[in-house]
Chain A
Amino acid sequence: MHLTQELELFPDVRVTQLLFKEVKNAAELRQSAVDGKINGALINPTMLVDPFQVLVAANKAVCFQKNGKMKTRALSSEIIFNLSPTNKISDAFKRFGISDGDDCVMVVVVQDKSETPCFDDIVSKVDGCQIPVKDISLLSDHMKIKKLYKVTPQEEKCGTLLDAVVSRMATKDVL
């Protein structure tokens, strides 16, 4: 169900995505994250086009962490920040973090290769139904995404929505 990928630049690091729908305890989850009781980033999946988008954000976060250049305090918040097209941290959390009333959530866990991959803890904390990560497209809200990333119809002629989103994420620090 979950998707685990290795980062080519950091072969010791594993990024795992877990997707849930029909979530009933979003508020509780959010609080756990704030309290540091969940070792992962909680993302609003309606803002995600594809698991690749998450991977791009995670890779950048790990790289900036190693270089000591993170804009936020923790790796999980850095991932959320990296998803946003702007450089405002509060905006990033509002758009890409989860809200108390949300009924679906993407959890992103970054682990060292040496750690035993175990997601039972996360799965047990979420009161919802885990679904395959590739089903993210069923949850994504294209209208909202296009509006937030300011994707124009002409841009979609030369590439996919994912291309447009990823381009902005990758270059936002120099715009």
Chain B
Amino acid sequence: MTVVIGFEGSANKIGVGIIRDGEVLSNPRRTYITPPGQGFLPSDTARHHRAVVLTVLKEALDQAGLQPADIDCVAYTKPGMGAPLVTVALVARTVAQLWGKPLLGVNHCIGHIEMGRLITRANNPTVLYVSGGNTQVIAYSERRYRIFGETIDIAVGNCLDRFARVLKQISNDPSPGYNIEQMAKGSQYVELPYTVKGMDVSFSGILSYIEEAAHRLLTSDQCTAEDLCFSLQWQETLFSMLVEITERAMAHCGSQEVLIVGGVGNLRLQEMMAVMCEERGAKLFATDEFCIDNGAMIAQAGWEMFRSGQVTELEDSWVTQYRTDEVEVTWRP
């Protein structure tokens, strides 16, 4: 039996999860929510995380009914927004030393992928990873999670957030993407830039276009009704691009499975992806509640890594920015 505790806090969510051999024992989480029209600043987010991290940790242990002595390894998330990340890493390092347990830095994206594989039992999926800071199409080959496609400028979540800020009235609770989806009930089609380059996408053109157009609509007072269908078109276009590059990567790799992970993986995206999969005779896996950043996903990837003999020495446990494909996957054939 191997028990791993995972700390996540690379963006506005802080979570601690405990995994025992594929079983989620606990997974409490808090989200730092900013007022509508505002993004989350690193220093404020770090302050939020600092205030709640110990409470969340205690919840995780209590809900799992475990003592620190029962834990085999302490895993923490790695790349992300600097200040909040440091907060979480500091707590992880401290408890690892207090409890005398090995420490393990876990790539955030790999956390999403391994959690997705655990929950959905997808064997070797093409992964679409969509979140506030990342938009990547990933497939496993020769000991790496290789990035076949990605955004060449801004991430899809970032794009949605900035759009939400343009409209000002969209709430950040639970996320702008979720609320845009709730508002997207229009039906009139407005053509927006559509930029696919090979297996990559670009969102900056569409964002500047919509920023300009939304401004025009807002100032000419024809907004509320219009922005609803607007947001629909906006997502239709954005998500079409994502589904297209996923399908391109599948065709390229000969893959018949898709897994959507990350906070932007909402229902409309899943629906569109499902249509694509059906047309190709492929299978779609979505992780629903575990899509959003959480501690268990870090614990799960940590569990795989720990079992394959990886640990992070204390002196190496600084916080770094590194890409998913830099990690050697020692736990998969």
* A touching B, CB within 8 angstroms: no
